[in-house]
Structure formats: C-alpha cells, structure tokens
Chains A and B, each alone.
Chain A
Amino acid sequence: MTTIYLVDDHELFLSGVRVELSERFEVAGWSTDVDTAVDEIRKQRPDVVLVDVHMPGGGGLSVVGNVHETNPDIRFLALSVSDAPEDVIAMIRTGARGYVTKSIEPDALADAIERIAAGDAVFSPKLAGFVLDAFSDAVPVEADPELDQLTPREREVLRQIARGYAYKQVATRLSISVKTVETHVSAVLRKLQLSNRHELARWASERRIV
C-alpha cells in the first residue's frame, strides 16, 4: 500500500483529507509546520507527500526544497487553495511532481496520488494552461531548444488536459495509450523543472505584478 504523509497548517482540512484518504492509503503521519514536517518525512520516508503551499515558516516550498535535497526519491504533490501561476510554477520548479487545488474531489485526489506514486506527473487543467502560456513565446536565441520548447505532441496533450479531459480520455481522443500520455506529461514536467529560460521566471513575476 502506498504510504502518504500530509503537511498542512489547517487542522480542519488536514483531518478531512486524512479521513478521505485513509481507505486507499496508509497515512504515515502528518504535521502542521515546516520544521517537524521535514524531520518526520526524512524519518518516515513515505512514498508521496501532500504538501500545502502557503504555511508559516517558509511554506511548502521549503518543505519540498529541503527534503528533495536529501531524499530525491520522495515524491511531492502540492495541494493549495491558490491557483496563482507563481505559486504553481514555483512548486513545480522546486521539485513537486504535481499540483492540484484543494477544491479537487476526493476520488480525483486519490487518483492523482496513485499516479504520482507510480512515478508520473499530475497536471490540473489550470497547470496545463500555465505551462502552455509560459512556453508559448518564441525560444530565446541562447536557450536550449531541447528543454525550452514543447514538442507538438506534448503541446496537444497539454491542450487536452487544459480542456478538462482525464488522462484516459486524452489517450482515446489522440489515439495513443494512457502510458504515452503519462510519458508526455512527465517530459513536460521535466522540461518545466530543468528549463533555465529566464522567460519562465519573468513570466511568473510579471503575473504577480500585473
């Protein structure tokens, strides 16, 4: 059984998610602050950590950043009320494998956790939209085209996700296997995390100021 760990400073939300997920997953533990979370996650070594983005003491970013440094095998799913682009992109760039908003339905959340445990990435429609937006401009001259551009197929997969289709439906609509959809999404995630293009940072910061 997949073990999960929960980090959220809202007790009420934490207990709700714990109840919803305890049937399908083994809940290894939970904490409401950043420091305990980092220590406990290193000790417990869960498969997937659900982490809130906005918390006192550095927030989800510092949890993901700290643990990712020492235990790159532990996977993170960011869970937040915010769907602001800068939050989403920052979490993914720090190493989260997926980003969903707290309004997600319990079943969809469980599916997302399982997909992440299996090594895939989870893109919500909003996240797919942000990525398409961020990678839409022409590639800068000195950029690495391998990393800084999406292939037409990846772009098409993201568009389908942005239109609200589940991975399985995307596979049917594009006449490819679900595994191929997952491969494309993971490739996009990797590009998003490794891409050095300064446009990405500028894109996020512009949206914060505007």
Chain B
Amino acid sequence: MAHDTQVPLEVLRIACTSGSVRVHAVAGLAEVVVDGAAIAIEGSEATVGATSSRLRVRVPEGIDLVIGTSSGRVEVVGNVGSVAVVTTSGKVSVDEALAADIRTRSGKVELAAVDGECRIIAASGAVMVGRCGPAHVTTTSGRITLRGVHGAVHAHCSSGRIDITMATAQDVDAETVSGRISIAMPAGASVRVETPNSPPVTDDGECDCVVTARSGSGRVDVT
C-alpha cells in the first residue's frame, strides 16, 4: 500500500501489537510504502497500526520515526531523522539517525550512528552505540558500550560493565553497582577524575571536563 501526499511526511508513527518491525529509509523515495497494514495520514504525520507478525515499511530518508511493538525485533535501516522506539522484548537496531530514544525491557540495543542526543533505557540486554552526541543510558543488567561520543554522558547500570570511548572532551557521569568502568578520553584532554576513592578536589584549576565514575564492586579505569 503506497500513499502520495501533497504535504511532505515528516513523522511516521507505528503501533504494532506484536511482531517485528523493519523500516527501510530509501534515498529518493517520496512516499511511505507499507506492506501488510493500513496507513492513516493527517497533515505531515502518518500513523500505521498493525497486528501482523512482520511489518515492513519503506520511508523517505530523514523522516522522524515513532515506533512501538509489544514483542519482536525493531530494525531501522538507512538514514532517518529522530527515532523513538518502545518495545517489551526484541533487539532494536538503528543504522543512522539524527537522535534516538530507545526503551526496552529485555532486548539488546545496537545503534550504529546517532548525530545528536542518544537516550536509551533498557532493563536487561546489552547496549552498543557506535557513535553519538550527548548520551543518557540506563540499564538494569546489561553492559553499556558507547564509542565515538561527542557530548556529555550519563550512564547508569545496576549490574554490568560500562565501557565509554569519548571522541571529544566532555563530562562523563558513569555509575554501576557491580561491574567494571572503563572510560577513554581523547588524547591531550585535560580531565579531572572524581571517584569514591579520589581525594577531594580543592583547586578546580583548568580542565576540559570532569569524569565522575562510581562502581560498587568493580575496577574504574580512566585513560
């Protein structure tokens, strides 16, 4: 089912009762093409409601996505605008987005590249981000791995390792109750490190950023 509209679509909302969702952003495509579900368009916003077990959608590049499914994998292929996903279980993967807000109870989260803010809340399941701007990541029991971060980071994990590689010197606040914390800052960055065992800071001095790292039972490495 395809829809042409006079008003360019800016947002696609997908509500899926269960099953996997695959959205493919295609360069040059001017319409949203949905296999297996109805689409409702109002102004610049389209909504797809589906109960099918496999929803496949093709969209123009750069469109904003808001997706929810009770269970099943959510896969976003290609280059999109902001992407927001809520799912109970199932892996969430995104190729490239301007911003991301991902919430899952038990699925793994893999974001290849997010230009702007990256917000991830996962109960269990590992989080892996290849590149992003400011990051707010919370997991209950999944490992957090952030690479190429060019914004401030807040990472909280109840039990699991936190591994962060910063692309630019920005503040990092990382906390895990049980697990190792590894933070790599860019070469030459002037960093003030605050850990539970570090001496109190009496002179702020000149520094590019502050790294605050707390692990209840694991080692903390800032390099």
Q: Do A and B come from one complex?
A: no
Show the binding face of B for A, using Cβ within 8 Å.
Answer: none
